[in-house]
Structure 1
Amino acid sequence: MTTLQASNLLSSSSSSTCKCNVIKSTLHAPKLKSLRLSFPKLSSTNNLVEELNIRNGYISTTTTQQEMIKTSTSGRYEEGSSNLLVMAELYAILETISDRVEMHANIGEQRNNWNTLLLTAINTITITAATMAGLASISGNGTPLLALKLSSTLLYSAATGLLVIMNKIQPSQLAEEQRNAVRLFKQLQKQIQTTLALGSPTSMDVKNAMKRVLALDKAYPLPLLGGVMLEKFPKTVEPAVWWPQQGRQGKQFGGELNNNGWTTNLVDEMKEIVGVLERKDTQEYVRLSKLILKVNKVLAISGPLLTGIAALGSTLVGSPSHGSWAAVLAIVGGAMASVVNTVEHGGQVGMVFEMYRSCAGSFQLLKESIESTLNEKVVERRENGELFEMKVALQLGRSLSELRSLAGCSTIKAEDASEEFASKLL
């Protein structure tokens, strides 16, 4: 049995081996020749896309999109370069303003020194001349009398000439002009810096800044010669103006809409504030300016006149016919001239006149600012109403409640002389 099983296994294995060999021989295939596939040459991707768009009728759309992309890109570039140019121009104006501040500060200090030094020198010369005239009146005839008389006359003549020049230029008033210029240029400088800090400025900001710089240069000139200096004794007194003047508009306020912080009550409140500023504050400071100007004119004429009379009296000291009266004129005239000088230039009357004139100008500027804001019919273009009200209150030295109370009372007291002034600051 075992022998039979083994023979069967051998026969089966040999038959399977034969079958495998047959299968291998039948699956053996001849080598095939290599196939070469040729494809048409395609153009670049951009040309292919254009060709497909032409076939499908989309070529105009694609071209338009490309042009829009180019236009938007160039527009952003031009906008960015324009914004940079505006900022560069504003920074250039800031540099100019810084230079103006330095110039006005230095010249203001110099002119303040003029006032002190000239006043001291003229009073010293006048007192010395009066002393010599007194000594000449008690000295005998001869060379000492002649020397004292000539010295007194020369000193009085020099004092008269210096007084004429000093009264013409009014150094204390010049110094006040430069102080105002420094303050206003610094104010403009801060406003431009705020504009740059808040966001992108526009070309209109550059134009407004240029106009304001030129208006300040005109209002507070630096030279004293060539007719540029401000008239120190004007025929008509008006508030100082240091802002660009625009065409006057009628008081036809518009755009009273409840929008952008503006309400009907706020518009009415601003109208009343304008009326109070015009009736009370501006008129009062113009009146004070006229009063101080009259006092300054009298003092400016009296000083040189007294020193001139004293010089004439000093020449007649020692004469037999007018000796006593000549001495009185020489001595008393010199003493009174010193007093008048001290009151005029020591009291800085010219500076007081300029200060009152500038205060009237400040109220005039605030009044015009309110009117121009209310005259803007498009409410969205105005400054925010709440912010504008706060600025007006701060400029008048009042709180918001006090400002509203003033506007409410002004309607009742419009014709009353005891009406309250708008400003508590000046």
Structure 2
Amino acid sequence: MDLVEETDKTSATTNPRVSCDRKVMEKLYLIMEAISDRVEIHKNIGEQRNEWNSLLLTSINTITLSAATMAGIAAAITTIPGAPLEVLKLSSSFMYLAATGLLVIMNKIQPSQLAEEQRNAARLFKQLETEIQTNIAIGNPTVSDVNEAMKKVLAIDRAYPLPLLGAMLEKFPAKTEPAVWWPEKRKISAKGRNDKNGWSVELEEQMREIIKVLEVKDKADYLRLGDKALKLNKALAIAGPLLTGLGAIGSAFLSSSPHNSWAVVLGIIAGAMASVVNTVEHGGQVGMVFEMYRSNAGFFKMMEESINSNLKERDEESRDNGQAFEMKVALQLGRSLSELRDLASSSKNGKDIEEFGSKLF
């Protein structure tokens, strides 16, 4: 035992790189363990919040329609002596108020959007785990790889937080902004230019044209669709509680003869309309659609920043390999290399950009 320990100390002293590589590998595996745990957490919580959406929608619609039914029965027996009118009125109003309170909470947290956030986080953490495994398999990971992996983990944590109180993403922002789940790119080097690492003037021009297409077509389109989904979601989130609140008021005035016709309209029709509005908003998962558009816009923003960071790097040796990077961009857009070059060429020739950059979504 002493001999083994002495041998390990001697090898670490004579070859410090062995000790350094061992520490780097240990840290990378620790990060991978944390990532695996996060994937499972986000997956489980995403399933839970998806169930929230279904259960809350079913419960609220059941309560709302029951309240409307009671209001209808109460309106039908207002002229019958000894009928339990007050009991039906109070029950209907109470159920409407309960539905209003539940709707306000549900519209505030948007369970379908929360579930989509967790699905995105789980996917991104799996992608990061695969990236680290590839880096280990290629060999010779460094301390900078460890630091970069840590930054990426924390960036995803900030982009898709788990807590609801305090850290939850704003569900109704002023306008749609792309989701950002990556750390800041590396700084620009001050070194001179050379023709190395798979880069050429033609490839640089091609990448600039790709950025233009993504900016003008793909990202702009998803931000436009995101704004529409956001406006629709805001309108539905206001309309649902408003209608159930009107239903509660209508139920409360059912016995008042001068206002009985209006009370019946509010007590019954408002409840029916509220159920339709809630089904469109949460059954149609409008919040999830908004998050999907926001994430897609973020994907194209990430691609733009990745391309720009390589183009702005003065030293080609410090860039990603040009040929591999071109293939990566083509795969991310669902294109072959020839299709990617044709897209850049059509944009460069001054034609109106009609084709979207991505063929995946």
Q: Quickly say closer, same or farther: Cα 1:135–1:410, change in 2 above 3 A.
A: same
Contact 1:256 1:263 in 2 (8 A): no
What is residue 174 of structure 1 aligned with on the other side? 114
Select between 125-134 and 370-379 the one with higher mean Cα deviation. Answer: 370-379
Q: Does 1:90 align with 2:28?
A: yes
Q: Does 1:283 align with 2:220?
A: yes
Contact 1:254 1:375 in 2 (8 A): no
Between Structure 1 and Structure 2, how many residues are aligned? 350
What whole-Å deviation, never above 9, does each CA across 1:135-178 have from its counterpart, x for those lacking one?
00011254511111011000000000000000000000000000
Q: Does 1:145 align with 2:106?
A: no
User: Which TM-score applies when normalising by structure 1?
Assistant: 0.79
Q: Matched residues in 2 for 1:94 and 1:329: separation?
A: 57
Contact 2:236 2:277 in 1 (8 A): yes
What whole-Å deviation, never above 9, does each CA across 1:268-315 have from its counterpart, x for those lacking one?
101110111111111111111111100000000000000000110011
Moved over 3 A (4+): 72-76, 246-249, 252-258
Indicate the RMSD between aligned Cα atoms, in angstroms: 1.9
Within the candidate set 158, 181, 193, 1:242 is matched to 181
The Cα of 1:391 is off from its aligned counterpart by: 0.5
The Cα of 1:318 is off from its aligned counterpart by: 2.3
Larger radius of gyration: 1
Q: Does 1:334 align with 2:271?
A: yes
What is residue 382 of structure 1 aligned with on the other side? 319
What is residue 153 of structure 2 aligned with on the other side? 213
What is residue 187 of structure 1 aligned with on the other side? 127
Q: Matched residues in 1 for 2:11 and 2:256: separation?
A: 98
Q: Matched residues in 2 for 1:150 and 1:243: separation?
A: 53
Contact 2:185 2:306 in 1 (8 A): no
Q: Does 1:423 align with 2:358?
A: yes
Letter in 2 for 1:422: G
Q: Does 1:100 align with 2:38?
A: yes
What is residue 57 of structure 2 aligned with on the other side? 119
What whole-Å deviation, never above 9, does each CA across 1:166-196 have from its counterpart, x for those lacking one?
0000000000000000000000000000111
Q: Quickly say closer, same or farther: Cα 1:253–1:121, change in 2 above 3 A.
A: farther
The Cα of 1:324 is off from its aligned counterpart by: 1.6
Contact 1:413 1:419 in 2 (8 A): no
Letter in 1 for 2:357: A
**What pairs with 1:17-416 in structure 2 (closer than 5 Å)?**
76-139=14-77, 140-142=80-82, 144-225=84-165, 227-246=166-185, 257-413=194-350, 416=352
Q: Which runs of 5+ in 1 are unaligned?
A: 1-71
The Cα of 1:259 is off from its aligned counterpart by: 2.2
* 3-state SS in 2 of match to 1:383: coil
Q: Quickly say closer, same or farther: Cα 1:254–1:333, change in 2 above 3 A.
A: farther
* 3-state SS in 1 of match to 2:175: coil
Select between 122-131 and 368-377 the one with higher mean Cα deviation. Answer: 368-377
Contact 1:141 1:318 in 2 (8 A): no
* 3-state SS in 2 of match to 1:361: helix
What whole-Å deviation, never above 9, does each CA across 1:38-59 have from its counterpart, x for those lacking one?
xxxxxxxxxxxxxxxxxxxxxx
Letter in 2 for 1:114: W
Q: Quickly say closer, same or farther: Cα 1:151–1:141, change in 2 above 3 A.
A: farther
* 3-state SS in 1 of match to 2:177: coil
What whole-Å deviation, never above 9, does each CA across 1:27-72 have from its counterpart, x for those lacking one?
xxxxxxxxxxxxxxxxxxxxxxxxxxxxxxxxxxxxxxxxxxxxx9
What is residue 7 of structure 2 aligned with on the other side? none
Letter in 1 for 2:359: K
Q: Matched residues in 1 for 2:65 and 2:112: separation?
A: 22
Q: Matched residues in 1 for 2:185 and 2:339: separation?
A: 31
Letter in 2 for 1:270: M
The Cα of 1:83 is off from its aligned counterpart by: 0.6
What whole-Å deviation, never above 9, does each CA across 1:303-337 have from its counterpart, x for those lacking one?
00000001100111121111121011110000000
Select between 405-414 and 117-126 the one with higher mean Cα deviation. Answer: 405-414
What whole-Å deviation, never above 9, does each CA across 1:179-231 have from its counterpart, x for those lacking one?
00000000000000011111011000000000010111111010101x20000
* 3-state SS in 2 of match to 1:301: helix
Q: Which runs of 5+ in 2 are unaligned?
A: 1-9
Whose relative contact order is higher, 1 or 2, with alpha carbons under 8 Å and at least 6 apart? 2
* 3-state SS in 2 of match to 1:420: coil
Contact 2:226 2:294 in 1 (8 A): yes
The Cα of 1:255 is off from its aligned counterpart by: 6.7
Q: Matched residues in 2 for 1:301 and 1:84: separation?
A: 57
User: Which TM-score applies when normalising by structure 2?
Assistant: 0.93
What whole-Å deviation, never above 9, does each CA across 1:74-112 have from its counterpart, x for those lacking one?
664221101100000000000000000000000000000
